[in-house]
Amino acid sequence: MKDENIFSIGEIARLTGVTIRTLQYYDNIGLVPLDKKDIHGRRYFRESDISRLQQVMFYKSMGLKINKIKDLLSETITPQQFLNVLNDQKYMLIQKMNDLNSSMAILEASVASIDESKTIPWGNLIQMIILFNKETIFKYNKISFDDEAQNVLLEHYKSIDTILKDYWEWKTLVLEAISHTMNKVEPKSNQGQEFAKKWNNMVQMITNKDEELLEAHKTSYENRDLWPDEDKQLMEFANNFIDEAMAHYKRNEVH
């Protein structure tokens, strides 16, 4: 059997872009151990270790923890097991993306609230948070509108990225409308009309001037009694402000 080539830790660092300190750490914990000393008294990596290191780099890029990576490397993994690992990690990353978007939505609404009142309205902010549930988006897969609207929405929302993006664009503005309502902002005021402009732009962005998609969203809105309770409550809270602000905005747009 042909002898394997050997590489110093510095050579592996240059080849892979992994720092020497990280390689030493992987060696210390037995994740990618260095081999015994060669005749010159140096420790080294073998060619086969590079494959193991590449697997570690891949799993790390997917966000897996070191302990999980060690478990995966300690056993022969089938393609199906590997697929299951990737799907589990994909779900976890979707949850993280959703958490970040939900935090940003609360942050944006809080900024709007403080900008208006020039104080910190703790009571309003707490009330808004109580009404808020970041997991609500995952409840929509159990809801069905009429077949035509459902088909259009399913055709458009094939990607989780698109779903999260559009949902949180909408939700952020709903929370802003709640903030305006709590701060008694008039829908016809400059602030109210700035909001209406953002709402109008959001609708155009989400529907991309696609009439079928616009009608499907209208059907969803008209059947919001089917929505998850959290979003239904938020929309009921914000609805009058949004409707009045948009009605005034559209009248001025026509003129």
CATH of the domain spanning 6-73: 1.10.1660.10
- The confidence score (pLDDT) of residue 169 equals 92
Domain residue spans of the chain:
6-73, 80-254
List CB contacts of 76: < 8 A, sequence separation 6 or more: none
- The confidence score (pLDDT) of residue 167 equals 92
20/75: higher pLDDT: 20
- The confidence score (pLDDT) of residue 1 equals 41
Angstrom CA distances, 183 to 79, 180, 191, 244, stand at 56, 5, 11, 16
pLDDT at 247 over 90: yes
Q: 147-156 and 211-222 helices cross at what angle (nearest 10)? A: 120
pLDDT of 23-69, one tens digit each?
999 999 989 988 766 656 677 888 888 888 999 999 998 888 999 99
**What is the rounded distance in angstroms from the CA atom of residue 228 to the CA atom of residue 232?**
6
Q: Which residues pair with 255 in a beta bridge?
A: none
Comparing 62-71, 119-128, 155-164, 192-201, the range with the smallest average pLDDT is: 119-128
What is the amino acid identity at position 169?
E
Task: State the residue for tokens 């259009």.
Answer: 152
- The confidence score (pLDDT) of residue 116 equals 66
Strands 45-46, 6-7: pairing kind: antiparallel
pLDDT above 70 as % of the chain = 89
Give the pLDDT mean for 187-197. 94
pLDDT of 129-140, one tens digit each?
655 677 888 888
